[in-house]
């Protein structure tokens, strides 16, 4: 490619010939002609050494839905770790140690990950691409779970141990419904220990 462009540029620089008596003399390149050809030469040189264009795939799904097996591979381990973190915090709530529960690692990392990865896992259970996420039962279960976790966070931040424990039990029930919908074992399973 570079050789072809070099030939094209050099042919553009072919000097006009003039006849001086019986001898044909090629003229020197004039300054004006050189200035007119400089942009052409620069573009030809740049395009000869430019990398080829790269074509992106648009991401893992390129605007389409993720299949359930793919979503399981991607998000099961993350959601399982988040549930284990939630259950670990739950032991402090059951014991009435609200200050310990309010500083649990679940609030800083587990909740954010459960919100993101849990949502993506839930919407992967869409059977038809035309179905909006709001109509997917697993997504509605996820929304109910996150709303209940928000209430639990407020209850843990307060001083009423009984209210925090009751909210934890409600959240735990919603978590089990969500886990069943996304085909993960219930909170009593050894996977979360």
The CATH number for 123's domain is 1.20.120
In this predicted structure, what is the pLDDT of residue 26? 54
Q: Are residues 42 and 113 in the same domain?
A: no
CA gap 110, 104 in Å, rounded: 10
Q: Domain for residue 29, yes or no?
A: yes
Number of neighbours of residue 12 by Cβ within 10 angstroms: 13
Residues 145 and 83 in one domain: yes
Q: How far apart are CA 3 and CA 56, in angstroms?
A: 30
The verdict on 80 and 120 lying in the same domain is: yes
Q: How many CB atoms lie within 10 A of CB 8?
A: 12
CB distance 142 to 153 below 8 Å: no
Domain of residue 22, residue span: 2-49
Strand, coil or helix: what is 106? helix
Residue at 127 is within a domain: yes
In the prediction, which pLDDT does 23 show?
56
Q: Residue 70 CB: number of other CB atoms within 10 A?
A: 13
**Domain shared by 83 and 30, yes or no:** no
Task: Report the C-alpha gap between 173 and 167 in whole angstroms.
Answer: 10
The reply to whether 134 and 178 lie within a common domain is: yes
For residue range 37-69, list pLDDT tens digits in order: 777 777 766 666 766 554 444 444 445 556 778
Q: Let me know whether 109 and 28 are in one domain.
A: no
Q: Into how many domains does the chain fold?
A: 2
* Positions in the chain short of pLDDT 70: 1-31, 34, 44-48, 50-66
| pLDDT at residue number 58 | 42
CA 140, chain centre distance (Å): 22
Q: Give the distance, in angstroms, between the CA of residue 119 and the centroid of all CA atoms in the same chain.
A: 13
The verdict on 29 and 76 lying in the same domain is no
What is the predicted pLDDT for the residue at 82?
A: 96
**In this predicted structure, what is the pLDDT of residue 131?**
85
Could you tell me if residue 133 is inside a domain? yes
């Amino acid at each position: 490619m570079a050789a072809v462009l070099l030939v094209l540029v050099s042919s553009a620089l072919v000097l006009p010939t003039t006849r001086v008596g019986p001898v044909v003399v090629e003229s020197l390149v004039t300054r004006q002609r050189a200035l007119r050809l400089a942009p052409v030469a620069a573009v030809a040189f740049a395009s000869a050494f430019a990398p080829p264009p790269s074509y992106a795939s648009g991401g893992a799904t390129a605007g389409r839905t993720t299949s359930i097996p793919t979503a399981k591979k991607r998000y099961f381990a993350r959601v399982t770790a988040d549930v284990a973190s939630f259950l670990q915090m739950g032991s402090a709530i059951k014991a009435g140690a609200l200050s310990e529960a309010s500083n649990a690692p679940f609030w800083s990392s587990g909740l954010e990950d459960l919100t993101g990865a849990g949502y993506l896992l839930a919407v992967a259970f869409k059977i038809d691409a035309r179905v909006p996420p709001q109509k997917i039962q697993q997504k509605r279960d996820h929304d109910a779970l996150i709303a209940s976790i928000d209430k639990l966070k407020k209850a843990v931040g307060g001083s009423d141990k009984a209210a925090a424990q009751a909210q934890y039990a409600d959240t735990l029930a919603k978590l089990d419904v969500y886990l069943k919908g996304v085909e993960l074992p219930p909170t009593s399973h050894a996977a979360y220990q």
